[in-house]
Each structure stands twice: as C-alpha cells, then as structure tokens.
C-alpha cells in the first residue's frame, strides 16, 4: 500500500513515521508513506496556501488550488487516483472497522487541514470522505493523519510479525482485549492467574475469551450490542453485569 500525506509540516510527520514499527516497515517496503509539502504547490514567492474567507470571519482558509495541484501530482506519480481523505472534525469518527476497510485500498491520500479549514469547493470536487479521530478540535490535521496512517499500516502484511498481533486486540473482533501478564509470576503480592501457567491451551483460550467478555461488559457494554454471543456467553455477561450492579 502507498499512503500519501499532504501537509504543511512534513518534518513533523516524518519524525513519527520514521520510528518504531512503522519506520521499520517503511524501510522494508511493507508500506510506502510519502509526505508532501503543500507549499511546494503555491504560486507566490511567499509560498502562501491560505487566504481570508469570503464574507469575513476569524482566521484564514486553505486555498483549493494548491491542494488540487498537489493531489493531481500524486495521481500522476501513482498512475491512479488514490482514495482521498480529509482529516476533519466534521468527518465520520474513526473506528477499527473503518481501519479494516481502508486497509484494503492500494492507494490512500490524507489531507491535513489547518487554520479555519479548507475551501468547500475542494472538498466537494476532490475529497472522497472526511474522517475524525474524535469529537474535539486540534490545531492541525497532522496528528489525526498520523493516527490513521499508523492504524492502517500496522494491519498490512509484513508490518507486524503475524496477523494474530492485531486480530486479538481491542475492537478488532468487537471486544476489548483480555488482560495480559508477563514475568515475574508474583509481583507486589499479586499472582498471575494460574490457568495461564497451566500449559492447557484450551483452558487458556476459554479464560481469555471470558476475560474479554467481562472487560467489555464492565468498560464498554455498548459494544456487546453488536456481538452474536452464544447462550453460555450471554449468560456469563448477564451474571457479570448483575454482580456489578449489586456491588454499586
């Protein structure tokens, strides 16, 4: 997969994307992520990409033409039209299911907004969808773009050591992840659950499944509405919630 990021701060993006798992994945060509300086597509000597909004108001607005030129240049590089996403607080809230869907694309382009946003005509003509990472506003779209790029890239073949690294995590299959433990077996007088030391894989799997159900029921019961539980699992969840209500 190739991910292009249109930004005013490519160095900021590179500082994050060049490190850790994603940095190694880029070096190994498991994912291609390219950051583009939007000012390179400005017209005047000051490389301005913003202007005052028509009708007045506070702040400045990102102009349509430099963004369009940058995106068209990316299309020429890739010989195709990437799925174009504007990182915006007005967009659809990012979920793991959306990440799974986006990971199926061959080419994605992310636009990082700034100032008071982007000329609406650019959004209408060029943008395929708007995505938000939460119901709050940041000073720019770089952090959301980095969140989205990271969440997509880690699901691609060759980025993590195995698919199981993300398939058992929170949200991937509709549950929060079960609690995990490592050495030592006893820490601050707290012991690792004995079943995890038993070597019985079926019991371990059962324990983890119930632990995930319990954690989800207690922390995010709303997530259970979209799950198809068998009768035994549903009874277990009901018991967890009942005991929780009794203790309150």
Domain CATH number, residue 18: 3.40.1280.10
Domain end call among 97, 132, 153: 153
Is pLDDT at 2 greater than 60 in this prediction?
A: yes
- In this structure, is residue 144 part of a structural domain? yes
pLDDT at 244: 86
Q: How confident is the model at residue 212 (pLDDT cuts 50, 70, 90)?
A: very high
- In this structure, is residue 164 part of a structural domain? no
Strands 190-191 and 186-187: antiparallel
**Which of 102-116, 119-133, 137-151, 152-166 is the least confident region?**
152-166
Q: State what percent of residues in the chain have pLDDT above 70.
A: 95
Average pLDDT over residues 119-124: 97
- What is the radius of gyration, based on Cα positions, of the chain? 23
Give the pair of three-digit tokens for residue 165. Answer: 């690294």
Is pLDDT at 15 greater than 80 in this prediction?
A: yes
Average pLDDT over residues 102-129: 96
Find, among 50, 29, 28, 30, the residue nearest to 39 by Cα.
50
Give yes or no: residues 118 and 39 share one domain: yes
Give yes or no: residues 13 and 102 share one domain: yes
SS3 221: helix
pLDDT at 43: 86
Give yes or no: residues 99 and 207 share one domain: no
Find, among 35, 85, 92, 41, the residue nearest to 62 by Cα.
41
Give yes or no: residues 10 and 86 share one domain: yes
Q: pLDDT averaged over the chain?
A: 93
Q: Which domain, by its residues, includes 111?
A: 2-153
- In this structure, is residue 179 part of a structural domain? no
Is pLDDT at 62 greater than 60 in this prediction?
A: yes
Give yes or no: residues 144 and 193 share one domain: no
Give yes or no: residues 84 and 21 share one domain: yes
pLDDT at 140: 96
- In this structure, is residue 225 part of a structural domain? yes
Give yes or no: residues 202 and 146 share one domain: no
Q: State what percent of residues in the chain have pLDDT above 90.
A: 87
- For 211, half-sphere exposure in the C-beta direction (CA atoms, 13 angstrom radius) is 17
Domain end call among 112, 134, 153: 153
pLDDT at 171: 60
Give yes or no: residues 90 and 202 share one domain: no
d(CA 2, CA 5): 10
Is pLDDT at 44 greater than 90 in this prediction?
A: no
Give yes or no: residues 56 and 130 share one domain: yes
DSSP letters, 98-112, are HHHHHTT-SEEEEEE
Average pLDDT over residues 94-101: 95
Counts for the chain of helices (H) and strands (E), in that order: 9, 9
Give the pair of three-digit tokens for residue 126. Answer: 């060029």
d(CA 224, CA 222): 5
Q: Read off the pTM.
A: 0.86
Average pLDDT over residues 22-37: 97
pLDDT at 162: 66
Task: State the first-to-last Cα distance of the chain, in angstroms, to the nearest integer.
Answer: 49
Express each pLDDT in 152-185 by its tens digit.
999 999 998 766 545 555 566 789 999 999 999 9
d(CA 3, CA 85): 11
The count of other CB atoms within 10 Å of the CB of residue 228 is: 7
pLDDT at 164: 57
Give yes or no: residues 84 and 195 share one domain: no
pLDDT at 236: 96
- In this structure, is residue 169 part of a structural domain? no
């Amino acid at each position: 997969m190739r991910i292009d990021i249109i930004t005013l701060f490519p160095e900021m993006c590179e500082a994050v994307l060049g490190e850790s798992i994603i940095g190694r994945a880029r070096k190994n060509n498991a994912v291609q992520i390219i950051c583009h300086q939007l000012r390179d597509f400005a017209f005047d000597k000051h490389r301005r990409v913003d202007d005052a909004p028509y009708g007045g108001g506070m702040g400045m607005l990102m102009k349509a033409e430099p963004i369009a030129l940058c995106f068209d240049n990316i299309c020429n590089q890739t010989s195709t039209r990437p799925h174009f996403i504007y990182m915006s607080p007005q967009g659809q809230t990012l979920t793991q299911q959306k990440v799974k869907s986006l990971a199926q694309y061959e080419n994605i382009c992310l636009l990082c907004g700034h100032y008071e946003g982007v000329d609406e005509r650019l959004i209408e003509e060029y943008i395929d969808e708007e995505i938000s990472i939460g119901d709050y506003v940041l000073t720019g779209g770089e952090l959301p773009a980095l969140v989205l790029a990271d969440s997509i890239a880690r699901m691609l073949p060759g980025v993590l050591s195995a698919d199981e690294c993300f398939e058992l995590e929170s949200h991937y299959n509709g549950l929060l992840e079960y609690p995990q433990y490592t050495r030592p077996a006893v820490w601050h007088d707290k012991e690792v659950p004995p079943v995890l030391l038993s070597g019985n894989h079926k019991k371990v799997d059962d324990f983890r499944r119930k632990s995930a159900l319990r954690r989800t029921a207690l922390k995010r019961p709303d997530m259970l509405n979209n799950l198809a539980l068998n009768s035994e699992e549903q009874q277990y969840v009901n018991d967890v919630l009942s005991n929780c209500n009794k203790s309150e």
